[in-house]
């Protein structure tokens, strides 16, 4: 029994969505569709009377003013010659269907099951032109949907739609055992066939565990076969995955510098550089009696102290591979998954304060032929942007800043960095909020979305194995509303002391969330049949490793269970009691009383064999280019302002809600015209005080082509200087006002494991990674700015046949620093005419990898170097200048430079600029205008503050010009005019760069 | 004197409840944030409050059209007492109390038929749907107040600068007759305008392409007020996108946001009304 309801817009209502598709079809695909009419179809499998369907359609679904409704028939009009139907594949998130189910219950006062899918929504597009099936297919797959998640029908509309994506799986919930007493070849075959991604050494470690006499005896006692079950292999594969165990960051690396001949062995990059640097800083802080570093590296996110009432918790993650296949789904799942990290830290249930994101794509005008499976960078960009929009906006979390970087090498795999910060009270019901207490006997409660095949083995799932009614598992789509209900509920529950602690279910699903928590007590017992499913007949191992989204795991004391379940029911959040924590030393998993996993905790977490890798550094041979002495600087400046990596991001920024919550004080765009780009976001933390935080992103992968150490150091410096620019203060270990800094490091690198055939330059890539880590250590310990959490993503290569597109080694340092008073922060835009413009910091001949050289297709050799001692001196003086309110505007100098920074400070204001430059040492005019030397700022000051300013900065400042009223950008060099442009022209090329 | 009490509804994807409560507290009221389901469960009655507020957000993810699912819930769902919540709202209004809806909250009011209600039958007469740009937009816009509007929320305000943050803010009026009545009854209390205060249909000053360039509506009594822009998001000077230059131009500029005025207006109006009533009833 099924009913179908269709909504279409009345003829007098403009079909905005249809018009947008017409436009995009023409501009992206060069397909002329003429008019398009859109419609929505609801396929309903509940058994309902004719009367109820009528009522549901007319009251529940239709908007009186704009819709016509069709029941069990469809809108037809011979004006439209073709159609495309876009449905979801079985098992794909259909939030709209679920919302329709809920409204159906409300309207008819029914109590139908809304936890499983009974209303399936489709989009239908009626197209004026009579298009061939091939063209319709192109439109469907490249504009309207994605074949990994959608079912398409197209051609001439017959007035019938049969397809309903119900999930049907044959009943087979048996647990298999796997014989590991086989040859090495067969061991590898098992790993490959079961998509375990375990190498031979790892498979042999498992083989040897299962042939241990004690293990065999224990298994016999527990009525388990000697051979491992499929569940056991799966949980080992998940727990030992690169994603969870960071095997390369833990590897023993032999590093050789071929230039100097120096050699060293590094036992774990993570322990040697990342964790060690933070430990050193923590020792310094503790020696000075300061303790704002509350939690580092041990939970889902790091935690620092704001004041005696509250703590700050945050995490930045990546979601690259999923975003390459399905940009929208990948990004929205990424941002929502990242939200769950701070939400599941310590006790959990913090209030999420902001999102931030950094995106690396291939250039939007990419014109090489697309490889099989490769999506056009523009499509990836739009999909990811949309995912971040929905992920943030629909959750009510402001997206307060970000960055977009374009480079050819991101056209195979984009990098999608998502970050989320939140605030927890210092204590929940008397317990420190960041701690994770768990005791033997505590209950394991799963909360949120139900479990399906989503994300099992992620992208490696072969599409050949999917038939019409098998649920897709390669791609997941996040459901912001499910997560919003869950996070609102958690906030209430933790405040009432009902949740002892929590964690999120992300990669590896229950197996990894429970596996990690069980380390605290030393064991867990889980009953998989109690896990609520989206549809019947999942196998036990599938239930345990499924990555179905919007789920958290709570640790709950028996006597709180009833109250917790009652509150959950009132908030429409589904909870299930699936087991308990133990101290047996085993992870013990059962399905209908049959034991399917019995593994020693110690083997599960510490049994993975160590990796050994080799790194070799050889300096590239590079030269500075000879450029023409006849450069038209007007033209260069206009081109730079309109270039991909510099031009305005306004179109993107305005589609993100960056001020919900009412706490965003420095937004991404500020000033009179709302167009001036800012260096760091500033937020206040509550409405009772003006205490706040600044949020920045340091990233500059391009310099890594010359020098990976300087690239990483430069990114770190960029993160710091953006916060100094808005008025932040450097940390001081002796200061006891909890002036915290916290950094998330995120490494995204290409495959760095050497292979003579598939990865001949693996050792060089690994050497770059080593150097990036050395810079991290040097910078953080110099400034006492600690990492509190981070992530590595190690295989960012896109392969199609013999072609490989590898990302350049990329590191993002995301920083947050406390701001004493947000009212004292500084924006980048000029404030008044006649204000004097200065450069702070020294400029060097450092045009290597600059945006300026890029215009001439050159790389160069002189990479910007970080001179941290000098930089710190400048930063300290800026901090002093801000105490005296000497600085009116401040903008950090990075991509494209001094000249660009000055333009950006003038854009969107009512002012122009006049610069008078003179010979400066032996620097060329090119270097003066466009060198990308680090640790510099363009600032403006009131003329009356000149003396005080000069006294403070001395030779570290140079007066370069003034703010004018004439809305012109004039640059004179040695009294010759080299740039003379109307601000309007500059603004125009800046605005149109990404359009 | 008894504090004015503002009830701020949350749940189901509403997400601007905190700043809404904060702005009422700043305006001198006592604000309480309550989950809508606690009202259905009978744990909280709207009658204990003076102003019922529906903040912005993405209730049910905007599925089926913004505000649709939640407005269905409010219109058709019964309280624990088996009384329709919608009837409870009618009684609340009959007590002479006030309702405010911002953004998603405005969308509920419109879809429930509470605004503009020119026919006085509480049926939907207008809708709010997808912006002409086809995009969600976060931008600050100038708004002109209809000088003939009699709602106490807008007393003494001619122009106001506020952020809009929506994908579905385009007001469409069902037919010409209703449009005329809206104009005649002066219910279109807010219009998008340019910097000079002249009403405009030009994008992006008018961010969505609304009929009548309308940014907000009241009912005839002025007791129900709904608007797309977010006055609660301009509760402090430091919410303004150009606060730092404003401070340079006028070092004595007030640290209050312009949006706060709307809330002060209604809170003070109720205080005055209560004071009057107290006088009347006291011997």
Question: Tens digit of pLDDT for each residue in A493-531?
Answer: 999 999 999 999 877 889 889 989 999 999 999 999 999
Read off the pLDDT of residues B125-160 as tens digits, 9 standing for 90 and up.
999 999 999 999 999 999 999 999 999 999 999 999
Instruction: Tell me the average pLDDT across A32-58.
Output: 96
Contact (CB, 8 A) for A911 and A836? no
Distance set, CA A960 to CA A538, A841, A871, A923, A957 (Å): 69, 13, 20, 15, 9
Q: How many other C-beta atoms lie within 10 A of the C-beta of residue A580?
A: 20
Give the pLDDT confidence score for residue A171 in this predicted structure: 72
Give the pLDDT confidence score for residue A459 in this predicted structure: 35
Angle between helices A633-642 and A898-906 (to 10 degrees): 70
User: Which value does ipTM take for this structure?
Assistant: 0.97
Q: Spell out a b/e string for A273-296, using b for 16 or more CB atoms within 10 Å of the CB, else e.
A: bbbebbbebbebbeeeebebbbbb
Read off the pLDDT of residues A906-949 as tens digits, 9 standing for 90 and up.
999 999 999 999 878 889 999 999 999 999 999 999 999 999 99
Of the partner residues B73, B78, B248, the one whose CB lies closest to the CB of residue A888: B248
Give dist(CA A796, CA A867) in Å, integer: 31
Instruction: Compute and round to an integer the Cα radius of gyration of chain A.
Output: 29
Q: What is the dihedral of CA B89, B94, B98, B103, to 10 degrees?
A: 40
Give the pLDDT confidence score for residue A468 in this predicted structure: 47
Give contacts of A823 with chain B, Cβ < 8 Å: 238, 255
Min Cα separation A270/chain B (Å): 39
Give dist(CA A328, CA A371) in Å, integer: 20
**H helical segments located in chain B:** 17-26, 36-40, 68-76, 85-94, 104-112, 176-184, 243-249, 260-281
Read off the pLDDT of residues A464-491 as tens digits, 9 standing for 90 and up.
333 445 455 556 788 999 999 999 999 9
Min Cα separation A655/chain B (Å): 5
Instruction: Tell me the average pLDDT across B258-283.
Output: 90
Give the pLDDT confidence score for residue A994 in this predicted structure: 84
Q: What's the per-residue H, E or C state across A882-897?
A: HHCCCCCEEEECCCCC
Give the pLDDT confidence score for residue A243 in this predicted structure: 77
Active site residues of B: 103, 230, 232
3-state secondary structure of A794: coil
Q: What's A35's DSSP letter?
A: -
Of A29-43, A192-206, A717-731, A834-848, minimum mean pLDDT range: A192-206
Give dist(CA B93, CA A752) in Å, integer: 68
Q: Residues of B numbered 79-138 whose beta carbons fall under 8 angstroms of chain A's beta carbons: which are they?
A: 111, 123-127, 129-132, 134-138
Give dist(CA B160, CA B154) in Å, integer: 10
Q: Could you tell me the residue range of the domain that residue B185 belongs to?
A: 5-281
Give dist(CA A763, CA A283) in Å, integer: 34
Min Cα separation B240/chain A (Å): 8
Say yes or no for a CB contact (<8 Å) between A395 and B15: yes
Overall size of chain A counted in residues: 995
Min Cα separation B229/chain A (Å): 12
Instruction: Tell me the average pLDDT across A824-851.
Output: 96
Of the partner residues B25, B232, B242, the one whose CB lies closest to the CB of residue A671: B242
CATH (domain of B146): 3.40.50.880
Total number of domains in chain B: 1
Q: How many other C-beta atoms lie within 10 A of the C-beta of residue A656?
A: 26
Q: Residues of A numbered 550-579 whose beta carbons fall under 8 angstroms of chain B's beta carbons: which are they?
A: 570-572
Say yes or no for a CB contact (<8 Å) between B13 and A481: yes
Read off the pLDDT of residues A759-775 as tens digits, 9 standing for 90 and up.
999 999 999 999 999 99
CA atoms within 13 A on the CB side of A432: 10
* Burial classification of residue A510, based on how many CB atoms lie within 10 Å of its CB (0-12 exposed, 13-18 middle, 19 or more buried): buried
Give contacts of B173 with chain A, Cβ < 8 Å: 65
């Amino acid at each position: 029994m099924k009913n179908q309801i269709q909504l279409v817009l009345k003829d007098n209502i403009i079909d905005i969505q249809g018009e947008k598709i017409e436009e995009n079809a023409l501009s992206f695909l060069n397909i002329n569709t003429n008019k398009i009419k859109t419609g929505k179809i609801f396929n309903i499998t509940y058994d309902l009377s004719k009367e109820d369907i009528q009522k549901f359609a007319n009251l529940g679904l239709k908007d009186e003013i704009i819709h016509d409704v069709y029941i069990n028939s469809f809108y037809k009009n011979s004006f439209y010659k073709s159609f495309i139907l876009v449905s979801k594949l079985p098992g794909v998130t259909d939030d709209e269907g679920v919302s329709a189910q809920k409204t159906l219950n409300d309207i008819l006062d029914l109590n139908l099951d809304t936890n499983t899918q009974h209303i399936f929504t489709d989009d239908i597009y009626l197209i004026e032109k009579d298009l061939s099936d091939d063209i319709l297919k192109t439109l469907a797959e490249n504009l309207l949907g994605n074949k990994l998640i959608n079912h398409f029908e197209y051609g001439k509309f017959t007035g019938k739609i049969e397809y309903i994506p119900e999930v049907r799986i044959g009943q087979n919930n048996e647990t298999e055992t796997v014989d590991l007493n086989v040859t090495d070849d067969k061991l590898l075959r098992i790993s490959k066939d079961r998509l375990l991604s375990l190498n031979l050494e790892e498979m042999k470690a498992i083989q040897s565990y299962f042939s241990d006499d004690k293990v065999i005896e224990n298994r016999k006692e527990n009525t388990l076969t000697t051979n491992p079950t499929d569940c056991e292999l799966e949980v080992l594969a998940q727990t030992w995955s690169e994603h969870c165990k960071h095997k390369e960051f833990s590897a023993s690396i032999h590093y050789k510098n071929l230039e100097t001949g120096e050699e060293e062995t590094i036992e774990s990059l993570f322990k040697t550089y990342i964790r060690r640097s933070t430990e050193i800083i923590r020792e310094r802080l503790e020696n000075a009696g300061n303790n704002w570093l509350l939690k580092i590296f041990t939970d889902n996110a790091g935690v620092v102290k704001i004041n005696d009432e509250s703590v700050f918790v945050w995490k930045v993650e990546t979601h690259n591979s999923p975003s390459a296949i399905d940009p929208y789904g990948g990004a929205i799942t990424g941002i929502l998954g990242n939200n769950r990290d701070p939400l599941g830290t310590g006790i959990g249930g913090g209030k999420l304060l902001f999102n931030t994101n950094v995106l690396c794509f291939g250039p939007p005008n990419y014109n090489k032929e697309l490889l099989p499976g490769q999506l056009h960078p523009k499509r990836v960009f739009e999909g990811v942007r949309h995912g971040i929009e929905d992920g943030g906006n629909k959750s009510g979390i402001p997206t307060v800043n970000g960055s977009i970087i374009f480079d050819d090498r991101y056209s195979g795999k984009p990098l999608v960095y998502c970050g989320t910060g939140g605030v927890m009270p210092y204590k929940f019901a008397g317990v420190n909020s960041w701690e994770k207490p768990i005791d033997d006997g505590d209950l394991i409660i799963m909360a949120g979305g139900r479990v399906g095949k989503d994300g099992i083995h992620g992208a490696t799932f072969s599409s050949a194995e999917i038939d019409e009614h098998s649920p897709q598992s390669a791609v997941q789509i996040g459901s912001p509303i499910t997560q919003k209900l869950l996070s609102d509920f958690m906030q209430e529950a933790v405040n009432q002391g009902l949740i002892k602690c929590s964690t999120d279910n992300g990669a590896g699903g229950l197996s990894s969330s429970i596996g990690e928590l069980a380390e605290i007590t030393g064991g867990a017992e889980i009953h998989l049949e109690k896990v609520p499913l989206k549809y019947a007949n999942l196998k036990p191992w599938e239930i345990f490793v499924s990555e179905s989204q919007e789920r958290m795991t709570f640790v709950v004391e028996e006597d709180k269970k009833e109250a917790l379940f009652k509150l959950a029911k009132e908030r429409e959040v589904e909870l299930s009691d699936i087991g308990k924590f133990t101290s047996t030393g085993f992870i013990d998993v059962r399905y209908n009383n049959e034991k399917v996993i019995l593994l020693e905790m110690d083997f599960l977490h510490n049994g993975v064999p160590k990796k050994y890798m080799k790194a070799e550094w050889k300096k590239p041979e590079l030269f500075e280019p000879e450029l023409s002495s006849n450069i038209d600087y007007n033209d260069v400046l206009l081109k730079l302002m309109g270039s991909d990596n510099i031009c305005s991001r306004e179109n993107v920024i305005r589609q993100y809600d960056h001020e919900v919550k009412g706490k965003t004080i420095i937004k991404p765009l500020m000033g009179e015209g709302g167009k001036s780009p800012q260096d760091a976001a500033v937020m206040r933390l509550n409405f009772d005080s003006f205490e706040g935080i600044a949020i920045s992103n340091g990233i500059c992968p391009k310099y890594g082509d010359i020098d990976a150490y300087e690239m990483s150091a430069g990114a770190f410096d960029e993160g710091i200087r953006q916060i100094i620019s808005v008025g932040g203060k450097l940390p001081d270990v002796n200061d006891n006002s909890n002036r915290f800094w916290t950094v998330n490091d995120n490494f995204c690198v290409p495959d760095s494991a050497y292979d003579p055939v598939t990865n001949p330059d693996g050792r060089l890539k690994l050497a770059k990674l080593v150097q990036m880590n050395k810079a991290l250590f040097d910078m953080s310990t110099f400034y006492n700015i600690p990492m509190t959490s981070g992530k590595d993503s190690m295989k960012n290569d896109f392969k199609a046949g013999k072609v490989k597109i590898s990302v350049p080694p990329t590191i993002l340092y995301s920083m947050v620093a406390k701001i004493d008073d947000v009212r004292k922060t500084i924006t980048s835009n000029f404030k008044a005419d006649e204000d004097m413009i200065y450069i702070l910091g020294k400029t060097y001949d450092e045009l290597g990898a600059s945006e300026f050289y890029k215009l001439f297709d050159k790389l160069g050799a002189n990479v910007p170097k970080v001179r941290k001692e000098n930089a710190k001196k400048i930063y300290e003086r800026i901090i002093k200048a801000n105490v005296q309110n000497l600085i009116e505007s401040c903008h950090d100098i990075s991509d494209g430079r001094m000249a660009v920074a000055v333009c950006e400070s003038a854009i969107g204001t009512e002012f122009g600029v006049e610069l008078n430059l003179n010979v400066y040492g032996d620097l060329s005019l090119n270097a003066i205008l466009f060198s990308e030397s680090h640790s510099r700022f363009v600032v403006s000051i009131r003329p009356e503050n000149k003396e005080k300013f000069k006294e403070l900065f001395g030779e570290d400042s140079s007066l370069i010009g003034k703010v004018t009223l004439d809305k012109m950008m004039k640059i004179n060099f040695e009294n010759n005019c080299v740039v003379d442009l109307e601000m309007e022209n500059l603004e125009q090329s800046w605005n149109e760069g990404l359009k | 004197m008894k504090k004015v009490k503002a009830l701020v509804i949350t749940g189901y994807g509403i997400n601007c409840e905190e700043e809404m409560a904060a702005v009422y507290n700043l305006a001198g009221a006592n604000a309480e944030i309550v989950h809508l389901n606690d009202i259905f469960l009978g744990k909280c009655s709207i009658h204990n409050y003076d102003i019922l507020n529906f903040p912005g957000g993405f209730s049910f993810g905007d599925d089926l059209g913004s505000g649709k699912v939640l407005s269905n819930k409010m219109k058709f769902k019964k309280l624990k007492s088996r009384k329709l919540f919608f009837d409870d709202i009618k009684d609340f209004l009959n007590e002479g109390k006030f309702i405010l809806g911002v953004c998603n909250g405005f969308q509920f009011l419109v879809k429930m038929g509470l605004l503009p209600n020119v026919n006085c039958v509480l049926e939907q007469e207008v809708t709010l749907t997808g912006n002409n740009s086809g995009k969600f937009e976060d931008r600050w816009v100038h708004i002109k107040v209809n000088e003939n509007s009699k709602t106490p929320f807008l007393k003494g305000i001619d122009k106001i600068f506020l952020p809009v943050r929506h994908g579905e803010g385009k007001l469409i009026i069902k037919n010409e007759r209703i449009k005329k009545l809206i104009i005649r009854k002066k219910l279109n209390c807010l219009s998008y305008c340019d910097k000079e205060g002249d009403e405009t249909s030009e994008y992006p000053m008018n961010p969505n392409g609304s009929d009548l360039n309308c940014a907000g509506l009241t009912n005839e009594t002025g007791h129900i007020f709904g608007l797309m822009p977010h006055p609660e998001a301009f509760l402090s000077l430091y919410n303004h996108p150009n606060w730092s230059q404003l401070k340079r131009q006028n070092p004595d500029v007030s640290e209050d946001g312009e949006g706060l005025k709307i809330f002060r207006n209604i809170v003070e109006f109720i205080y005055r009304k209560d004071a009057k009533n107290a006088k009347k009833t006291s011997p």
